[in-house]
Amino acid sequence: MTSTIVECHQLTKNYGKKKALNELEVAIPAGRITGILGPNGCGKSTFFRTLTGLVRPDAGRIEVLGKPPGWQNNRDIAYLPDRARWYPSHTARMALEWGNSFLPGFSMERAIQLCDYMDIDLDMRVRGMSRGQEARIMLILCLARDVQLIVLDEPFTGIDVISREAIVASLIDYLEDSEQSVLISTHDIQEVEGLFDYTVMMKEGRAIWSGSTEDLRAEYGSLRDVFRKMYMKEWNK
């Protein structure tokens, strides 16, 4: 097996009485597209926030790119936050300029290409955009970077089908010629299950299954079926 890009031991984070992360044990291999799957509230977002140093764990150890999380490490991580929005007064171009000034490894040229590909008008204000257009801009801010790790927290939530397809397509395009590792969390695997070559299933702050997606298929069938079975309880609530 190749080296790991993220490693957690006994990672714990509580919000009041709720255990968002409950002694999470996970090792994610480098150079793969990893899907972090689970229903809402299973701890995916908290996990990603500890990855980028937004949240400090109460206990346990986490290493990202071989280092503890923090702002220094974020130079090498492109992160799409959960339920994030963009500054409403910005135009698309201003958003790209923001990326160009502050995000290491950002390529303006590539970002403009992506905008063209994803059908984003550079002079349009974010205020006047649909949620899907806004989501595409935010994704571009992540994909236009040449960094070791890309972390996308629920990139498909609340987005129209066309934007969703554009996002999946540009992810595939992008991944083809890069050595980067990508983590994508989602609670809705329709249309994206073919993307993941490594899968972590989370439930109640723990990883209940992790491994190569092909192994998972050989053993249990399609991700969708597995998903449905594993989270039946939550779905029936």
Q: Which residues bind another protein (CB under 8 A)?
A: 15, 32-33, 49, 52-56, 71-72, 74-75, 77, 79, 81-89, 98, 101-104, 127, 168-169, 172-173, 175-176, 191-197, 214, 217-218, 221-225
| 121, amino acid identity | D
What does the block give as tokens for 196?
Answer: 């993941």
DSSP secondary structure code for residue 58 in this structure:
S
Q: In what order do the strands lie in the sheet with 4-15?
A: 18-29, 4-15, 59-64
SS3 content of the chain, % helix, strand, coil (to 5): 35, 30, 35
Closest CA to 185 of 54, 53, 40, 58: 40
With respect to another protein, which residue has the nearer C-beta, 115 or 151? 151
Q: Which is nearer to another protein, 26 or 33 (CB)?
A: 33
Question: In whole angstroms, what is the distance from residue 67 CA to residue 74 CA?
Answer: 11
Residue 32 is given by DSSP the state: S
CB 65 within 8 A of CB 76: yes
Closer to another protein by Cβ: residue 119 or 191? 191
Smallest distance, Å, CB 100 to another protein?
9
> From the CB of 237, what's the least distance to another protein, in Å?
26
For the bound state, the minimum distance from the C-beta of residue 58 to another protein, rounded and expressed in Å, comes to 11
Nearer to another protein, 66 or 221 (CB): 221
Cβ closest to another protein, residue 218 vs residue 237? 218
Helices (H), 106-207: 108-117, 131-143, 161-176
In angstroms, give the least distance from the CB of 190 to another protein. Answer: 10
Q: Which is nearer to another protein, 71 or 109 (CB)?
A: 71
Which value, in Å, is the radius of gyration of the alpha carbons in the chain? 17
Backbone angles phi, psi at 25, to 5 degrees: -120, 115
Residues forming beta bridges with residue 153, ordered by sequence position: 185
How many angstroms separate the CA atoms of 126 and 191, rounded? 27
Classify strands 206-212 and 198-203 as parallel, antiparallel or unpaired.
antiparallel
Q: Nearer Cβ to another protein, position 81 or 132?
A: 81
